Amino acid sequence: MAEEVTVLCEAEAKAGLAEVAVEVLGEVWEREEARVMAEAPEEAGDKVVVEPLLWCVPRGVSPLCGFCQRGEISLCENVTNGRLAPGMSIGFCRDTGGTWSDVFVAHGSQLYRVPDGVNDLNALMVEPFSSGLHPVLQNFPGDDETVLILGAGAIGLCVLASLRALGSRSRILVLARYAFQAEAAERLGASEVVPVSRGIDVFEEVAERTGARVMKPIVGRPIMVGGVDRTFECIGSTISIDNPLRMTRAGGRAVLVGMPGTTRLDWSSIFVKELEVCASLAYHRAEEYEGARQSTFEIAFRLMQQGKVKLDWMVTHTFRLRDYKRALEMLTHRGRHGVIKAAFVFDR
Ligand SMILES: [Zn+2]
């Protein structure tokens, strides 16, 4: 590691708290990022949040690829090049380690100082919040639109929080599986929460609320005519990626935020409704916001500083690292345990 790499010895131990934010995506455990305390001399004692993407600059690649030159670092073309082992982000690269540890490595360019007025748990939420903020900034609805968010896990709630923090007055429907998720969605400004459980026909529920019609084809699953202008898919399973396509009105837009992996998909609703379908990955440094290009993390911090969003209450559970098996078990059954976001706590 060259000197540009900031080594964060006992970083999380000093910070007292590091997010693990484990999400279950099929059988894959995905680790998100952490809050740490920098040990570079000029920053000793500062609290920082790490933007975990390993793009051209942290990798020491020069010249930067075209995407990184534009700030679109989540689309970096050099994630297997440079002085670091392959991997898109900290936690997925053998040279950096990950946040399930007393120690990991980050480059100085990945650190964001926590500004005044943002408490530790809100700082912890900057990374997941940015994963909701980015798709919303890229696909902002008009105030006259009806928006449907599929999924009220942490990312679905962060999409909702982003819409309201950025001032959207659109009508927002949220599909929520558990009562605690429904409560969280209401707290964050959902216009209506549609419960998802056995015995409830979600298509009929959404159609009734939006004046759409549910068509039942001879072959295949139901499809809605009319209704929702824009959908944000925030679950990422086989069935969940099919639903927004069937529920979005003709000419509408389906934004895929949850990553599904391998899945079979019926493409007919995309064609018969000429849908716009787009995916959103993580966050970057080229958001157009208030007349300037800036990073998603900077906007997230500003919205928190301005009091437009408050997410610390979403960290519902904390664990010691040695209790990781229990943490994983509870996250696997998050509905039963009421987990929105979990974090590891380290001794100071
Ligand atoms: Zn790049």
> Ligand 1 centroid vs 59 CA: distance in angstroms?
9
Beta strands 146-150 and 228-233, pairing class = parallel
Confidence (pLDDT) at 138: 97
Work out the angle between the directed axes of helices 126-138 and 154-165 (0-180°, nearest 10): 60
pLDDT tops 70 at residue 38: no
Q: What is the mean pLDDT of residues 244-266?
A: 91
Pick the closest to residue 124 from 174, 73, 158, 76 (CA basis).
158
Confidence of residue 44 (pLDDT cuts 50, 70, 90): low
Residue 98: how many other CB atoms lie within 10 Å: 20
> Ligand 1 centroid vs 164 CA: distance in angstroms?
32
> Ligand 1 centroid vs 68 CA: distance in angstroms?
4
DSSP H/E element including 264:
none
Pick the closest to residue 101 from 307, 348, 330, 344 (CA basis).
344
Confidence (pLDDT) at 293: 95
Question: Helix, strand, or coil here: 45?
Answer: coil
Confidence of residue 2 (pLDDT cuts 50, 70, 90): very low
> Ligand 1 centroid vs 107 CA: distance in angstroms?
15
Name the residue with higher pLDDT: 172 or 18. Answer: 172
Confidence (pLDDT) at 131: 96
Pick the closest to residue 88 from 301, 327, 259, 343 (CA basis).
259
pLDDT tops 60 at residue 321: yes
> Ligand 1 centroid vs 61 CA: distance in angstroms?
8
Residues in the chain: 348
> Ligand 1 centroid vs 249 CA: distance in angstroms?
36
Residue 287 CA: distances (Å) to CA of 203, 291, 296, 342: 34, 10, 6, 28
Cα–Cα–Cα angle for 187, 116, 317, rounded to 5 degrees: 45
Residue with tokens 């998720």: 181
Nearest-angstrom CA–CA distance, 276 and 251: 7
> Ligand 1 centroid vs 95 CA: distance in angstroms?
18
Q: Where are the alpha helices (DSSP H) in 70-201?
A: 120-124, 126-138, 154-165, 179-187
Nearest-angstrom CA–CA distance, 274 and 270: 5
> Ligand 1 centroid vs 136 CA: distance in angstroms?
23
Query: 276-288: per-residue pLDDT in tens?
Result: 999 999 999 999 9
Rg (CA), the chain: 20
> Ligand 1 centroid vs 83 CA: distance in angstroms?
13
> Ligand 1 centroid vs 244 CA: distance in angstroms?
32
Q: Which of 1-15, 105-119, 206-220 has the lowest mean pLDDT?
A: 1-15
> Ligand 1 centroid vs 93 CA: distance in angstroms?
16
> Ligand 1 centroid vs 243 CA: distance in angstroms?
34
CATH number of 5-127+290-345: 3.90.180.10
**Do residues 105 and 91 make contact, with C-beta atoms less than 8 angstroms apart?**
no
**Do residues 8 and 37 make contact, with C-beta atoms less than 8 angstroms apart?**
yes
Confidence (pLDDT) at 11: 31
Q: What is the DSSP letter of 80?
A: T
Nearest-angstrom CA–CA distance, 177 and 289: 33
Confidence (pLDDT) at 16: 32
Q: Which of 170-184, 209-223, 259-273, 302-316 has the lowest mean pLDDT?
A: 259-273
> Ligand 1 centroid vs 255 CA: distance in angstroms?
24
In this prediction the pTM is 0.88
What's the CATH superfamily of 132-279? NAD(P)-binding Rossmann-like Domain (3.40.50.720)
Name the residue with higher pLDDT: 32 or 43. Answer: 43
Confidence (pLDDT) at 57: 96
Query: 70-127: per-residue pLDDT in tens?
Result: 999 999 999 999 999 999 999 899 999 888 887 788 898 999 999 999 998 999 999 9
Residue 71 CA: distances (Å) to CA of 198, 283, 289: 44, 10, 14
> Ligand 1 centroid vs 296 CA: distance in angstroms?
17
Q: What is the mean pLDDT of the chain?
A: 86
Residue 189: how many other CB atoms lie within 10 Å: 16
> Ligand 1 centroid vs 46 CA: distance in angstroms?
28
Name the residue with higher pLDDT: 37 or 92. Answer: 92
Nearest-angstrom CA–CA distance, 5 and 7: 6
pLDDT tops 60 at residue 261: yes
> Ligand 1 centroid vs 84 CA: distance in angstroms?
13
How do the domains of the chain map onto residue ranges? 5-127+290-345, 132-279
Backbone phi, psi, residue 321, to 5° = -60, -35
The phi-psi region of residue 228 (left if phi > 0; otherwise alpha if psi is between -120 and 50; otherwise beta) is beta
> Ligand 1 centroid vs 156 CA: distance in angstroms?
28
The answer to whether the bond into 63 is cis (omega within 30° of 0) is yes
Pick the closest to residue 277 from 296, 257, 303 (CA basis).
257
